[in-house]
Structure 1
Amino acid sequence: MGHCLEIGEEQKVCRLERSIYGLKQASRSWNTCFDEVIRGYDFIMNNYDSCVYKKISGSSVTYLVLYVDDILLIGNDVKILGDIKPWLSTQFSMKDMGEASYILGIKIYRDRSERMLGHTQSSYIEKVLKRIQDGTLKMRTPSHETWD
């Protein structure tokens, strides 16, 4: 009886108790679950981007950014970040990848002595420029491709 398909019962259907990874509804199911859990830790969802959460505790601000099944945690209080990471580990199966240096094609850099955090897409720009120089990047325009 561990199978959905039994001889003589081919016309019946099975009801899934949870989403199967890779199916259309899996990402929605994961996001709903994540939202419930993270709100339970007093994070507030951003009104403009449902994958960005914020938590304020006194002068400490923590942002949690969700991209598919990756979480970027940013904050101005190392102790609070240190408290959130183990809590997240109790809620989800996860691996701490350390300090972020590259995410979604964006390079993240910081200078702690100057209290500066920044980002750049220079590698993406260089990649596009190289494709233009090589002639492998075709522009779609209503005019001719050459001046001849």
Structure 2
Amino acid sequence: MEDELEEFVRNDVWELSKLSGQGYSKIEGVDFDETFAPVARLECIRLFLGMACILNFKVHQMDVKSAFFIGILHEEVYVAQSKGFEDPTHPEYVYKLKKAL
């Protein structure tokens, strides 16, 4: 977690901001009907490894921590500070995103 937060700082992903209220502008079923998480399902990984074995492909593993930090935001997005990792000087502040996570 600490490595990821340091990566956010290095890539200028967000800035601390004071926010007086919390609200949501999107309504499930109207603005979105599903969510996306960049995580592979176990079945897909098994299929991929099986096909790699059959076709004699060489498979390499790589851990990418900051692949999604380049997206440009066209609206204001705020994220609460993670529990246990709050900024000690401003624990009540939130992060205003500059780039998409």
Q: TM-score with structure 1 length normalisation?
A: 0.16
Higher strand residue share: 1
Higher-RCO chain (CA-CA 8 Å, sequence separation at least 6): 2
Q: TM-score with structure 2 length normalisation?
A: 0.21
Higher helix residue share: 1
Between structure 1 and structure 2, the one with the greater Rg is 1
